[in-house]
Structure 1
C-alpha cells in the first residue's frame, strides 16, 4: 500500500498529481486547508493538503469496493440532480402550507403560538399544519399551562422516534464538533454496564489526536477494548477480527457536508463495512438551514437513525420535530450534557412532544 501527501492549490491539481503518481485506482483519505509562508501569519498563502492511498499492483484485484475518480464525479452529479428535485418539491410544499397563515386571520393567542413555533425554528410547513389543526379543533386557545397537554397531542404525530437494537457494527457519522465521540462513549457505557453486552470500539478518527486519546481514556475506564483503523479496508479487517463481540461501536472523523470529497469518502466507508446501524449525529444548536443541508448531504452514509446532541446548549427545541421530518429517519437519542454515561436519553415521541410544547408555551406567554 502506498500513502502519499500533496500540497496543492486546489483539488483539481491534486487529482492530476495523484493519478500520475498513484494511478486511477488511488483513493483520497483526507483533505485539509492549511496556511504556509509569511511572517507571523502575515502574507501567508492557503494551500490544500491532500492525503491519498493506492494499493500495490498485486493487491489491486482484491479491492473491488474502491471508487474510481470518474465514478465519484458521476455519482456526485447524479446526487446533485436528485437534490435539486427534492428542493423543488420542498419549496412547493412550503408555498402550499403558507397559504393557511395568509388566508386565515388568526386570533391573538393563536398568533402568539405560531410565533413561538417559529422562534423555536420548527419547520414552517409543520408549524402551519399544527396551527391549522388547532384552529379547526378549538378556534382560539389559551396560552397557559392548561393547554400544554393538548398542544403536545398535536405535536406527537410529527415526532418520529425509535431506539434500535444495537448489535454487530454500529457507525457514528456527522459534522465536526457535534460530540460523536462523547455520545459513543455514553452508549458504550450503557451497553456494557446496564445491558451487560460485550462491547468493543473501533475509531477511524485519526485526524484529531485529542479525539483518539479521549476515546482511549473512556475505553480504559470502562475496560472496553479499542482499535484504530486508517482506511475502510483496514476497518473491515478489524471488524472481522472482532466478530466475537456483541457490539462494535465505530467512531469517525467529523466531516463537512459541503465537501464533496469527504462525502465520497464516507460513502466508500459505509459500502465497505456495511454497518448494522448508522447514527447521524447532529448538534441541536445548529441553524435550521444548516440542519436541512446536513440531513440531505449525509444521506450518502445511508444512516438508519439520528441523534441530537447539545440540548443543554440551546433554547431552540424545534429540531425535535425537524430532524425526522426532513430525513424521514427516526430520532433515537438526545444528549443534554457532557457527563458519561448520564447525559443521554432515549427518544420517546410523547415525552419529547411534552418538552417541546412546554418550551413553546413559555415563549408564547412571554410574547
Structure 2
C-alpha cells in the first residue's frame, strides 16, 4: 500500500499523475489548492510499473494468495497455541513449531506496523481537513457561509469569495447579503459605459483570443453597429489571419455585405503600411489569427501589434463556456503586452457566467460587449453589470440544469443605461 503526494498546476494534471503512478484504482485521500497549484494525496496498492493488464492481475492474485496462506498459517498456529495438550507435546518433541511461530509473528508484526502507520497518516490528513472546516465554521456566520456557497455555486473562485465575504457587514441579514455582494462586484467590474467611446472617436482595436472564440463574427457585429449609425465610409477591417484556410475570406465576405473595405497584413511591416493608408478612418478593427494560449506564436502576434508603432487597443475575446482555469490561462498568455479590455462571447453556450466575470474582475479587464449567438448584428449588446452578475448567481442556484440565455432574454439584463447600477452601488458604498 502506497501513499504519495502529487503537485500539479491543474486538478486534471494532478489526477493524471495519480493514475500514472498508482493506477486507475488509486484512492484520493485529500485534494487542496496551494498558491494556485493543486496538491492531491492518494493511496494505491502498488505503483503501476507493469506492461500489461494480465501482469497486474497476476501480481494481485499472487499477493492475495500470499496473504491467504499467511492468514491460514496464523490461524493454524493460534489454534495450536490455544490447544494446551498439543502445545505441550509439540514443545517437548520438537523446536520447529516454535520457530515457525516466531517467524509468522515477525511477519505479522511488520505488516501490522505498516497498516498502523498508514492509518495514522490518513487520520492526520483527515484531522487537518476537519480542523480547517472547524475554523471556517467558527470564522463565518451562517449568513457568510450561505453567501460563500452561492459564490462557489455561481462559478467564482474561493479567493474572490473570501475577499468579498470578509467585507460583509455583520448586521446584514441573509436577504441583504446577496444583493450587497452583487453590487460590490458590480462596483469593481469595469464596463463600456458609453458606446461613443468606440463609435464616435478615432481608434484602432485588435481582437485577440484562441481559435473559435468568435473574433471574426464579433468584428462583423461591431462593424454592423457602426455602419447603421455612421455609414460605411469611416470604418475599415484588417485581417492578419494568414494561418487558417479561408480565415481572411470570412472577414472579406462580411465586409462585402456591409460595403466596408477589408485589408490583409501578414507581418508588422504590412500592418504598419496598411494602418498608414487608413489613417483617415475613424474606426479600424483588426482580426488577429486565432491561437491557442499555449502556442509560441502568441508572443510573435503581440510583437506584431507593438511593432506597428500605432496606438492599438488590444481586446481579448473570452469564451463564457470555458472553465475558470482555462480563461485564466488565456488571459495570462495574451496579457504579456497588456490588455485594454475584453469581450465576453458565446454566452448562449455557457451554463454559468461566474467564471468569466471572475476573470474580468481578477485581471481588471474592461468589458466592452457581450455576444449571445451568431446573428449579425443582433446578438451583441452592452452590459448592465448588476443584472449580469445577478444572472450568474441565479444560474448557480440551478446549476444542475443546463441554463442558457436565449436572445429573448437579452433585454432583461443588457442595457445601455447604468442608472440602476449606480443607484444600487450608492446604497452600499
Band of TM-score, shorter chain: 0.5 to 0.7
Return the index of the structure with the highest Cα Rg.
Answer: 2
How many Å separate the matches in 1 of 2:381 and 2:286? 20
In structure 2, do the counterparts of structure 1 residues 251 and 116 end up closer, same or farther at CA, with 3 Å as the change threshold?
A: same
- Provide Cα deviations, 1:292-339, integer angstroms capped at 9, x if missing partner: 111111112422111110111011111353122221221211111111
Verify: 1:125 aligned to 2:154, yes or no. no
Provide the secondary structure at the position in 1 that maps to 2:369.
strand
In structure 2, do the counterparts of structure 1 residues 276 and 88 end up closer, same or farther at CA, with 3 Å as the change threshold?
A: farther
In structure 2, do the counterparts of structure 1 residues 148 and 362 end up closer, same or farther at CA, with 3 Å as the change threshold?
A: farther
Q: CA deviation at 1:268?
A: 1.4
Verify: 1:293 aligned to 2:334, yes or no. no
Verify: 1:179 aligned to 2:209, yes or no. no
Matches within 5 A, 1:84-103: 101=136, 103=138
How many Å separate the matches in 1 of 2:294 and 2:221? 28
Match of 2:172 in 1: 138
Verify: 1:214 aligned to 2:226, yes or no. no
5+ residue gaps, structure 1, are: 1-86, 92-97
Provide the secondary structure at the position in 1 that maps to 2:246.
helix
5+ residue gaps, structure 2, are: 1-32, 38-132, 402-429
How many Å separate the matches in 2 of 1:252 and 1:363? 34
Q: CA deviation at 1:88?
A: 9.3
Work out whether residues 309 and 334 of structure 1, in 8 Å CA contact, stay in contact via their aligned partners in 2. yes
Match of 2:109 in 1: none
* Residue 305 of structure 2, aligned match among 225, 250, 270: 270
Q: CA deviation at 1:213?
A: 2.1
Q: CA deviation at 1:351?
A: 3.2
Work out whether residues 200 and 249 of structure 1, in 8 Å CA contact, stay in contact via their aligned partners in 2. yes
Aligned residues: 269
In structure 2, do the counterparts of structure 1 residues 339 and 147 end up closer, same or farther at CA, with 3 Å as the change threshold?
A: farther
Q: CA deviation at 1:225?
A: 0.6
Q: CA deviation at 1:99?
A: 11
Q: CA deviation at 1:187?
A: 0.6
Q: CA deviation at 1:199?
A: 0.8
Match of 1:157 in 2: 187
Provide the secondary structure at the position in 1 that maps to 2:289.
coil
Verify: 1:228 aligned to 2:264, yes or no. yes
Verify: 1:352 aligned to 2:388, yes or no. yes
Q: CA deviation at 1:254?
A: 0.9
* Aligned Cα root-mean-square deviation (Å): 3.2
Provide the secondary structure at the position in 2 that maps to 1:209.
coil
How many Å separate the matches in 1 of 2:260 and 2:243? 22
How many Å separate the matches in 1 of 2:311 and 2:135? 43
- Provide Cα deviations, 1:1-58, integer angstroms capped at 9, x if missing partner: xxxxxxxxxxxxxxxxxxxxxxxxxxxxxxxxxxxxxxxxxxxxxxxxxxxxxxxxxx
In structure 2, do the counterparts of structure 1 residues 195 and 137 end up closer, same or farther at CA, with 3 Å as the change threshold?
A: farther
Match of 1:312 in 2: 348
| TM-score for the superposition, normalised by structure 2 | 0.56
